[in-house]
């Protein structure tokens, strides 16, 4: 089946630093990827839609200057948390949409990245 890989799976950083998380579709091309955030004991929430070759679309309440998204190729989207603060500590998950005539555009999820900001 289709595989989506996220890296790193865990990252600990100091407050004020920036952290980059990668999301790769390993065996299919994805023009659209999605980034979600999950706080402890809460539901997943969509943060933004990443579109290959164009600007990301952010959900209401998500700061685009803080959460930079780059989707430079059909298999890679990156999320950069800039000037991270402890309240940004969360579990970040991406998903990629497989497209093509033979597919129904189903979503495949990454393993997630747990960010801890000290």
Partner 1 sequence: KNEVEQSPQNLTAQEGEFITINCSYSVGISALHWLQQHPGGGIVSLFMLSSGKKKHGRLIATINIQEKHSSLHITASHPRDSAVYICADSNYGGSQGNLIFGKGTKLSVKP
Residue 54 CA to residue 70 CA, distance in Å, equals 9
Nearer to partner 1, 86 or 100 (CB): 100
Q: Contact region for partner 1 (CB under 8 A) — 15-23, 66-74, 77-85, 107-115? A: 107-115
Q: Which of 109, 115, 116, 118 binds partner 1 (CB under 8 A)?
A: 109
Residue 76 CA to residue 38 CA, distance in Å, equals 21
Q: Does 43 bind partner 1 (CB under 8 A)?
A: yes
Q: Contact region for partner 1 (CB under 8 A) — 17-25, 67-75, 80-88, 104-112? A: 104-112
Q: Does 46 bind partner 1 (CB under 8 A)?
A: yes
Nearer to partner 1, 16 or 59 (CB): 59
Q: Which of 12, 45, 72, 118 binds partner 1 (CB under 8 A)?
A: 45
Question: Which of the residues 60 through 89 are near partner 1 (CB under 8 A)?
Answer: none
Cis peptide leading into residue 8 (ω within 30°): yes
Residue 73 CA to residue 28 CA, distance in Å, equals 12
Q: Which of 114, 115, 117, 118 binds partner 1 (CB under 8 A)?
A: 114
User: For residue 61, what are its two tokens?
Assistant: 């309440």
Kind plus residue range of the DSSP H or E element containing 4: strand 4-7
Residue 112 CA to residue 66 CA, distance in Å, equals 19
């Amino acid at each position: 089946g289709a595989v989506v890989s996220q890296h790193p799976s865990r990252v600990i950083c100091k407050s004020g630093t920036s952290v980059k998380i990668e999301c790769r579709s390993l065996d299919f091309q994805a023009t659209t990827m999605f980034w979600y955030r999950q706080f402890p004991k809460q539901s997943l929430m969509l943060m933004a839609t990443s579109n290959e070759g164009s600007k990301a679309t952010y959900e209401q309440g998500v700061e685009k200057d803080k959460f930079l998204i780059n989707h430079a190729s059909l298999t890679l989207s990156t999320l950069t948390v800039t000037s991270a603060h402890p309240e940004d500590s969360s579990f970040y998950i991406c998903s990629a949409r497989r497209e093509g005539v033979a597919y129904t555009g189903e979503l495949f999820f990454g393993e997630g990245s747990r960010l801890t900001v000290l």
